[in-house]
Structure 1
Amino acid sequence: MPLWRIRMGSGRSKSGERLSGKTGPPAVDLSEVVIPPAFRCPISLDLMKDPVILSTGITYDRQSIERWLDDGNHICPVTKQPLQSSELVPNYSLLRVIQRWCVDHPSAGIERIPTPRVPASRSQVAEMLSQVEIASRRGSPPSFATAVDRIRLLARENERNRRCAVGAGSGAALTAALAAFCERFAEAEGDVEPNAAVEAALAAAAAVMPLDAEACSRVWTRSCMRRLGRVLQGGSLEGRKNATSFLRAVLEDEVEVANNRKILESTPALVEGLARAVREPICPSATKASLTSIFRMASASDQIASRVVDSGLVPVLLETLAECERGVCEKVLAVLDLACACREGRKRACENALAVPVLVKKVLRVSEASTELAVSVLWRLCKGARDDAVVTEALSMGVFQKLLLLLQLGCGERTKEKATDLLKMMNAYRDRGDCVDSGDFKEVKRPV
């Protein structure tokens, strides 16, 4: 087998001039460095930094062989033998030889390879989770926070540890511990320490996302939801952000949401906290998560939908709708559609000068989903208005032509019914004159 060679730096600066002893370090030796073949990974052919032995006895660099295994390969890359085990055993003997070789070639610019940290094992994670469970039931809030923070630090150290933590069931264990902790301190909702410990648990859960259905099912308790509401209302910025993403994951299952509707209705702090995250944006991801959670809760309960309106969110949604990206636009319109299903919501929307102009603008402008939702909200406002002010304003904004074009291009059956109903309502007022922005149609194309 031929020896692999690598050419090191030439001892020249970026400008091409040779470095002198006065202006920089001594020039690097120009000779080629021979890297022993045994030091190279059979997959990447690079110098191994973390050599590990596969069950077939062949040594690979950990990063390369893990990528090979993650791609679904179940044979040894060199021997082609089926793998009896995917366990990787550190080859410390070879690592020490490689490190010694690096130390012997400093003049060629080779640095000593640092000793890699031992990756987390399932048994190690299991021990940590056991401490979390004990702390949640018997320990103080600081001890619980310390226990869950170990999981967070482990999972965030690297992707390998995160996968190990997830595979060991950290998600379900953390949510079960969180529910037990909240139940233990249910009567101490105003205390600072329990809230801080819950924030630590939410940070740990965020490190092992996404949570599976089993993990999410553990937190459907009144005490846990009340504690989440308190964090959403008055927690730290990081705590509130983690709470929004955690709640979005918990509310993903529509059946669970429907079955636990009473718990959600008895926890007004959830809507108030999520509404605050929309009014006072933390970050784009928190805003999207909050809107998604509000929509899922309001979809399951008219009482919660009314609570969304009472939170003062309708004018905020309209202001957000004026300038927002596509993903946020669709979520805002979805929440606004639910809010305008009730009389008070329609009243709040009609009182806002932005309502009709911004809704008409979104028709045929953003996406198919946004168009259908905007038409639905306009239909609710026009149908529920006490006079013809909303109809005539929408007509003056050019919505009549947009609706005709929408029907021509095609849309869903429910949207088609609402668009047709709107056209009938507006037809009697067309003689009052209307205007249309031709720019509204420049992006519209007839389907092939």
Structure 2
Amino acid sequence: MEDAEVPEFFICPISLQIMKDPVIAITGITYDRSSIEKWLSHGHDAICPVSKQPLPRNSTLTPNRILSKLIQTWHTTNSKPTIDHHVPDPDDYMITKPYITTLLANLSNPDLFMKSLTNLEVVAAMAKENYVYGKLLVEAGVAKAMVSFVITCYKNSKTHGLLLALYILLLIYKISPSKTREYILLAKTDEIIDSLIWALGISSCDHTTTKAIRNHAMILLKIFVENTSSNLQEKLKPDFFKTIVNALSKTSLMTQHGTKAALHIMFGACTVGKNRIMMVEAGAVFVIIELELSGLVREKRTSELSMQVLFNLCRSADGRAELLRHAAGIAVVTKRMMKVSPMLDEAAVSIISLISKFSGTDWVVNEMLRVGTVSRLCMVLQSNCDSGLKEKAMEILRRHTHVWKDSPCADHLLLTMYTK
């Protein structure tokens, strides 16, 4: 039997080994008992090694019976018969709706909420493989409870437990998207969106926690924005876009999923004219260009989204001015052309068309020649792309051929062929 992949939450944060006797510290973090007891006995300033929260040496370590049972089952399924993996057998228990309801009730208890969140996270993780657990979580109202918890964190400016709540909410959405959407439609939209925007700006935690919080919050924000009424797009404020653009600019704190979610939000908001203005004013054009230059946009759909957002922002004079103000603006759009997908080609050629038509100064026309835009437009005409896209490329070439035809950088044969 090949070695099975070990689930990440089976690993002790201290020993980095599969836990044999998982226990929950009062900070809500689960460790292997021997590892955390050794940590505390060596006098590490009574600080939780993961959360950096105070952890008194005489504090209670509660057995994580759910996780212990899960690890035991995993060993039974995946271990070779000759190898003995001893895991303490937990007391008999059943994951039932009353059990989950009790965990939710304990969220309001300052001494128990972290333990409850940790157990809910384990059940939610198990629910990915067990439909019954997922159904219990949904029926018990875990999504509603997590939304309320996140809102409470926001109102009290407290981050303790926030990461777990965001993660559980994401897991619940993946388990039952339709039921979660039903709750979203009934939720206090303004409060949860304000809470997620607040989470996107958190910087007081360590790098790993901050990154996880921001990306979970961005993905959840996308889910909430997409599943609420269309009127929401018309109510968005400048701070909403400033926070998203700022988060997107911190590339070291964004994952591919988080980046994609941010671009989804921006693309959806582009349907409202004033939103495009607010995004331009928030610096979105510069940030998207820098994002493309960073090389971090590797997924096709993410590249398409970034170029589609850029096109929508360039529909305004201010948006075009911002693109031209960036030294690599035209070059970035040109570089992406004919390399990713027809959808991206459409957006890129449309951007160049707008720039050419409304901002075609001598500098712009010469910049297009310098960075290879003219050659790429000729490639469009030689490709099997949509006829409408070819016509758009032809219009650009015809519009400025009187300048380009005398340049040693231009392909005179192609220009003559396509602009007669």
- The two structures have a TM-score, normalised by structure 2, of 0.64
1:269, 1:128 → 2: CA distance? Answer: 41
Q: How does 1:22-421 map to 2 (within 5 A)?
A: 110-112=82-84, 114=86, 124-131=95-102, 134=105, 139=108, 146-156=115-125, 159-161=128-130, 163-170=131-138, 173-181=141-149, 185=152, 189=154, 191-193=156-158, 195-210=159-174, 212-219=177-184, 221-234=189-202, 236-253=210-227, 256=228, 258-263=230-235, 265-266=236-237, 268-281=238-251, 282=253, 283-296=255-268, 298-322=269-293, 323=295, 324-327=297-300, 328-385=302-359, 387-412=361-386, 415-421=389-395
CA distance 1:159–1:200, shift in 2 (3 Å): closer
Deviation, structure 1 residue 386? 6.3
Structure 2 residues without counterparts, runs of 5 or longer: 1-71, 204-209, 412-420
Q: For 2:286, what is the secondary structure of its paired residue? A: helix
Structure 1 residues without counterparts, runs of 5 or longer: 1-94, 100-108, 438-448
2:234, 2:115 → 1: CA distance? Answer: 33
Task: Give the letter aligned to residue 152 of structure 1.
Answer: E
Deviation, structure 1 residue 275? 1.8
- Residues 261-305 of structure 1, C-alpha deviations (whole Å, 9 max, x = no match): 245x14x44433322332112233322222222222x23322222
1:261, 1:132 → 2: CA distance? Answer: 36
2:388, 2:110 → 1: CA distance? Answer: 52
CA distance 1:160–1:399, shift in 2 (3 Å): closer
- Residues 199-248 of structure 1, C-alpha deviations (whole Å, 9 max, x = no match): 33212123344251331353451011101100011152221121122223
Question: Match of 2:29?
Answer: none
1:398, 1:273 → 2: CA distance? Answer: 35
- Residues 360-393 of structure 1, C-alpha deviations (whole Å, 9 max, x = no match): 2221123322222211221222223163432332
CA distance 1:329–1:141, shift in 2 (3 Å): farther
- The two structures have a TM-score, normalised by structure 1, of 0.60
Identity value in percent: 20
CA distance 1:369–1:216, shift in 2 (3 Å): same
More helix by share: 2
Q: For 2:129, what is the secondary structure of its paired residue? A: helix
2:366, 2:105 → 1: CA distance? Answer: 65
* Runs of 4+ with deviation above 6 angstroms: 115-121
Is this contact kept in 1: 2:95–2:133, CA < 8 A?
no
Instruction: Give the aligned length.
Output: 318
1:351, 1:172 → 2: CA distance? Answer: 53
Question: Match of 1:71?
Answer: none
Deviation, structure 1 residue 422? 1.6
2:145, 2:223 → 1: CA distance? Answer: 17
